[in-house]
């Protein structure tokens, strides 16, 4: 039995697996989670997993804990094995999709990772750097500007309004300008989703594969999957639990640093 | 002894022959202990935020050190240097332009070096004598490099330091030679290092100071410091013009790649870290590097002289873990 934890910038995600099968999944808002259940013990991060109520006593006593996430290189987690994010996400995608060859596009709250997986092995990867305008946080901001829910934003992909700002903050004023021009909310939402695709395309083009596995919280955005398939001509596969992919990956990683599904 | 600064490696022999104290402004900036403050000072003086950190650092280093004369490399480095030259002229610094011809033409290069010689009032005889003196030190720096990849006795950071310092010999070839001698003596007595992953570091020197120790903490060591090694003039030749034609840094990427391919094979390198400076034209060359090298490549971007940021660390860790699979 293993517990996988993915400490993201927006959400802390949890997965409990028994014999490779998902027993249950959960998540907490990152800030709430750290405030209520985290504390620094010297240079080590201690998490009060029992206090979260996510796992029962028996599970906590028996399960090995594997963790990944932001800040893992500045903190070590007490009592847990720490793995790199890229390995965790690739392992999750292998486990969830059963595919052997694909490009993994993981889009989280701040991070965008593109990994090339060949014969179940990570063979190369790129990550966004210096700019997080292709992230979940950007989508949240834009939904707020448009006064729509994330679900509403994520349902539109046809006839996108063209948006060009390179900065996620200047993008807000550009969007306001387009609202004034009278475009429909549906087309504006599609435009926001389209900007995300444009920002990740140069990273995706680094690698060749027939299939893109789209994971991370942003993969819940159905419009994005549609636009990606349309722009790339590749098959886009969204795993059953995209947001928990990293946590599931952690829980599948064996005792060695190898990407191997349990 | 009058100090003369320079913006990137120039024919050091000319300054030594002229009895000047050479100062590689990059080294002064990055080793001065106030590098981040200097970049911020340059921004306060009006240098834009989206301009190379090295240019801003060089500017502030000149202002703080009071160096009155600077050789500025106008071709073969970057166009920011041209504007830097203009700002320095405006502020009363004597600026001597020096250009590496893009096509590596020997006649043009000779003419540039002779122009520099006329400015510093030296003849070929003195310059060649300086070359002999400097070559004796360079031999020792080459040995430190060999110990890093062939004997595994030298860390990536140690090798980086000696290679990069060879551009101005820390202002005093005699002292620098003594430092290299002492280092070599100690290094021969060490046990070989055991990092599993052998890396090449290509691109301009890193603006972060902690890259090498961080890599080594993960079990990966740089055994090829590309441009730093170039600053130490790695090719043995008696001819000064030929020496600065073989030197790869100021010429096109293909000339550099020829050296990179030979050295990465010879040194049994597992993967490459391509460092690019934010806002530098060399960022474009990353796409050529990726097409021409068959090894795994991690491209790192640095902006200001800060410790490695969390995101860069995450990327490095992922890369090293991938290599260890």
Strand partners for B24: B6
Q: Tell me the residues of chain A between 128 and 187 that have a Cβ less than 8 Å away from chain B.
A: 129-130
Q: What pLDDT does residue A114 have?
A: 95
Q: What pLDDT does residue A36 have?
A: 93
Considering only A31-45, A213-227, B10-24, which range has the smallest mean pLDDT?
Answer: A31-45
Task: Say if B24 falls within a structural domain.
Answer: yes
pLDDT digits (tens, 9 = 90+) for B206-234: 999 899 999 999 999 999 999 999 999 99
Nearest CA in chain B to A74: B310
Report CB contact under 8 Å: A70, B314: yes
- Which pair of tokens denotes residue A213? 């596995």
Q: What pLDDT does residue A75 have?
A: 52
**C-alpha–C-alpha distance, residues A96 and A92, integer Å:** 6
Confidence band (pLDDT; 50, 70, 90) for A135?
A: confident
Report CB contact under 8 Å: B296, A129: no
pLDDT digits (tens, 9 = 90+) for A92-116: 999 999 999 999 999 998 889 999 9
Place of tokens 């610094």: B93
Q: What pLDDT does residue A255 have?
A: 46
Residues in B closer than 8 angstroms to A124, CB to CB, are 296, 322
**Nearest Cβ partner of B311 from A126, A129, A258?**
A129
The shares of helix, strand and coil residues in chain A, as percent rounded to the nearest 5, are 40, 25, 35
Task: Say if A178 falls within a structural domain.
Answer: no
Asked whether the predicted pLDDT for residue A258 surpasses 80, the reply is no
Average pLDDT, chain A: 89
Give the DSSP H or E segment for B201: strand B197-203
Nearest CA in chain B to A124: B296
Between A and B, how many CB-CB pairs are < 8 A? 51
Task: Say if B314 falls within a structural domain.
Answer: no
Nearest CA in chain B to A132: B311
Decide: A26 and A54 in contact? Cβ < 8 Å.
Answer: yes
Asked whether the predicted pLDDT for residue B257 surpasses 90, the reply is yes
Question: What's the length of chain B?
Answer: 325
Give the DSSP H or E segment for A182: none
Domain that holds residue A80: 2-88+245-252
Cβ atoms within 10 Å, residue A158: 10
Q: Looking at residue A79, which CATH number applies to its domain?
A: 3.30.420.40
Confidence band (pLDDT; 50, 70, 90) for B27?
A: very high
Cβ atoms within 10 Å, residue A167: 11
Q: B315 in contact with A at a CB cutoff of 8 Å?
A: yes
Asked whether the predicted pLDDT for residue A261 surpasses 60, the reply is no
Task: Say if B109 falls within a structural domain.
Answer: yes
Residues in B closer than 8 angstroms to A130, CB to CB, are 278, 301, 303
Confidence band (pLDDT; 50, 70, 90) for A165?
A: confident
> Among A67, A109, A114, A130, which would you mutate to test the B interface (most chain B Cβ atoms within 10 Å of its Cβ)?
A130
Q: What pLDDT does residue B241 have?
A: 98
Task: Say if A105 falls within a structural domain.
Answer: no
Report CB contact under 8 Å: A257, B324: yes
- Which pair of tokens denotes residue B224? 């090829």
**Nearest Cβ partner of B325 from A72, A126, A258?**
A258
Q: Pick the residue with more confidence: A102 or A46?
A: A102
The alpha-helical segments, DSSP class H, found in chain A are 30-37, 49-52, 57-62, 85-97, 136-146, 150-153, 170-180, 185-204, 222-232, 245-252
pLDDT digits (tens, 9 = 90+) for A178-232: 999 999 999 999 999 999 999 999 899 989 999 999 999 999 999 999 999 999 9
CA dihedral A248, A249, A250, A251 (to 10 degrees): 50
Q: How far does A187 lie from chain B, in Å, by closest CA?
A: 34
Task: Say if B42 falls within a structural domain.
Answer: yes
Nearest CA in chain A to B310: A71
Asked whether the predicted pLDDT for residue A145 surpasses 80, the reply is yes
Q: B314 in contact with A at a CB cutoff of 8 Å?
A: yes
If we measure between CA atoms, which residue out of B116, B314, B120, B145 comes closest to residue A73? B314
User: How many independent structural domains does chain A possess?
Assistant: 1
Q: What pLDDT does residue A257 have?
A: 39
Task: Say if A15 falls within a structural domain.
Answer: yes
The alpha-helical segments, DSSP class H, found in B32-171 are 35-44, 53-65, 80-90, 106-119, 124-149, 156-165
- The whole-number average pLDDT for the span B106-135 is 98
Q: What pLDDT does residue B30 have?
A: 95
Task: Say if B48 falls within a structural domain.
Answer: yes
- The whole-number average pLDDT for the span B166-192 is 98
Asked whether the predicted pLDDT for residue A71 surpasses 90, the reply is no
Report CB contact under 8 Å: A84, B317: yes
Decide: B117 and B111 in contact? Cβ < 8 Å.
Answer: no
Write the DSSP symbol of residue A17. E
**Nearest Cβ partner of B313 from A73, A86, A124?**
A73
ipTM value: 0.76
Decide: A200 and A194 in contact? Cβ < 8 Å.
Answer: no
Rg value, chain A, Cα: 19
Considering only A127-141, A174-188, B116-130, which range has the smallest mean pLDDT?
Answer: A127-141
Q: A124 in contact with B at a CB cutoff of 8 Å?
A: yes
Decide: A80 and A67 in contact? Cβ < 8 Å.
Answer: yes
> Among A121, A128, A129, A260, which would you mutate to test the B interface (most chain B Cβ atoms within 10 Å of its Cβ)?
A129
pLDDT digits (tens, 9 = 90+) for B266-318: 999 999 999 999 999 999 999 999 999 999 999 999 999 999 988 899 889 99
> What sign has the CA pseudo-torsion B237, B243, B245, B246?
positive
- The whole-number average pLDDT for the span A6-32 is 93
Task: Say if A217 falls within a structural domain.
Answer: no
Decide: B147 and B192 in contact? Cβ < 8 Å.
Answer: no
Cβ atoms within 10 Å, residue B217: 12
Task: Say if B293 falls within a structural domain.
Answer: no
> What sign has the CA pseudo-torsion B107, B108, B111, B117?
negative
Report CB contact under 8 Å: B314, A73: yes
Task: Say if B172 falls within a structural domain.
Answer: no
Strand partners for A188: none
Task: Say if B180 falls within a structural domain.
Answer: no
Q: Looking at residue B118, which CATH number applies to its domain?
A: 3.40.50.11890
Q: How far does B147 lie from chain A, in Å, by closest CA?
A: 30
**Nearest Cβ partner of A85 from B278, B290, B314?**
B314
User: How many independent structural domains does chain B possess?
Assistant: 1
Q: A87 in contact with B at a CB cutoff of 8 Å?
A: yes
- Which pair of tokens denotes residue A63? 């399960």
- The whole-number average pLDDT for the span A160-179 is 89
pLDDT digits (tens, 9 = 90+) for A228-242: 999 999 999 999 999
Asked whether the predicted pLDDT for residue A77 surpasses 90, the reply is no
Domain that holds residue B62: 3-124
Of chain B, the end-to-end C-alpha distance in Å amounts to 55
Average pLDDT, chain B: 96
**Nearest Cβ partner of A125 from B310, B313, B318?**
B318
pLDDT digits (tens, 9 = 90+) for B194-209: 999 999 999 999 999 8
CA distances from A171 to A138, A149, A179, B123 (A): 9, 18, 12, 61
- Which pair of tokens denotes residue B142? 């080459």
Q: What pLDDT does residue A254 have?
A: 62
pLDDT digits (tens, 9 = 90+) for A120-130: 999 888 888 77
Q: What pLDDT does residue B219 have?
A: 96
Considering only A8-22, A50-64, A65-79, B200-214, which range has the smallest mean pLDDT?
Answer: A65-79
């Amino acid at each position: 039995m293993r517990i996988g934890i993915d400490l993201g910038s927006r959400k802390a995600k949890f997965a409990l697996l028994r014999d490779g099968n998902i027993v249950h999944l959960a998540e907490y808002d990152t800030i709430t989670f750290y405030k209520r259940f985290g504390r620094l013990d010297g240079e080590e991060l201690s998490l009060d997993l029992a206090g979260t109520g996510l796992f029962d006593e028996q599970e906590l006593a028996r399960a090995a804990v594997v963790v990944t996430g932001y800040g893992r290189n500045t903190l070590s987690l007490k009592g847990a094995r720490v793995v790199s994010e890229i390995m965790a996400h690739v392992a999750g995608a292998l486990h969830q999709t059963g595919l052997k060859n694909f490009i993994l596009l993981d889009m989280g709250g701040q991070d965008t990772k593109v990994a090339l997986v060949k014969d179940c092995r990570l063979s190369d990867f790129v990550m966004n750097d210096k700019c997080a305008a292709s992230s979940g946080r950007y989508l949240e901001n834009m939904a707020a500007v448009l006064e729509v829910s994330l679900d509403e934003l994520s349902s539109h992909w046809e006839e996108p309004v063209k948006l060009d700002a390179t900065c996620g903050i200047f993008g807000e004023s550009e969007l306001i300008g387009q609202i004034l021009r009278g475009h429909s909310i549906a087309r504006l939402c599609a435009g926001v989703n389209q900007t995300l695709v444009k920002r990740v395309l140069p990273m995706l083009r680094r690698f060749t594969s027939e299939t893109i596995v789209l994971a991370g919280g942003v993969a819940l955005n159905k419009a994005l999957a549609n636009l990606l398939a349309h722009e790339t001509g590749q098959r886009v596969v969204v795993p059953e639990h995209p947001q928990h992919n990293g946590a599931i990956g952690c829980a599948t990683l064996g005792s060695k640093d190898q990407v191997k599904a349990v | 002894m009058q100090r003369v600064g320079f913006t990137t490696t120039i024919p050091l022999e000319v300054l030594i022959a002229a009895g000047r104290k050479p100062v590689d402004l990059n080294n002064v900036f990055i080793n001065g202990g106030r590098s981040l403050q200097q970049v911020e000072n340059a921004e306060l003086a009006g240098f834009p935020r989206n301009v190379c950190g090295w240019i801003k650092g060089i500017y502030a280093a000149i202002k703080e050190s009071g160096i009155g004369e600077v050789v500025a490399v106008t071709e073969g480095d970057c166009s920011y240097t041209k504007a830097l030259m203009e700002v320095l002229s405006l502020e009363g610094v004597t600026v001597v332009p020096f250009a590496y011809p893009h096509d590596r033409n020997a006649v043009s290069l000779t003419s540039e070096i002779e122009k520099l010689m006329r400015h510093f009032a030296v003849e070929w005889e003195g310059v060649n004598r300086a070359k002999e003196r400097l070559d004796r030190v360079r031999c020792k720096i080459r040995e430190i490099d060999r110990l890093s990849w062939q004997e595994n006795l030298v860390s990536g950071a140690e090798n980086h330091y000696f290679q990069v310092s060879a551009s101005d010999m820390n202002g005093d070839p005699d002292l620098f030679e003594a430092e290299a001698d002492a280092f070599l003596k100690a290094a021969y007595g060490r046990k070989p290092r055991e990092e599993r992953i052998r890396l090449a570091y290509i691109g301009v020197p890193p603006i972060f100071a902690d890259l090498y120790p961080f890599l080594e903490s993960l079990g990966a060591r740089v055994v090829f410091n590309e441009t730093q090694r170039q600053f130490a003039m790695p090719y043995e030749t008696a001819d000064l013009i030929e020496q600065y034609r073989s030197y790869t840094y100021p010429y096109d990427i293909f000339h550099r790649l020829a050296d990179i391919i030979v050295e990465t094979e010879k040194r049994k390198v597992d993967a490459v870290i391509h460092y690019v400076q934010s806002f530098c034209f060399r960022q474009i060359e990353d796409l050529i590097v990726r097409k021409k090298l068959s090894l795994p490549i991690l491209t790192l971007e640095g902006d200001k002289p800060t410790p490695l940021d969390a995101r860069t660390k995450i990327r490095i860790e992922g890369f090293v873990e991938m290599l260890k699979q």
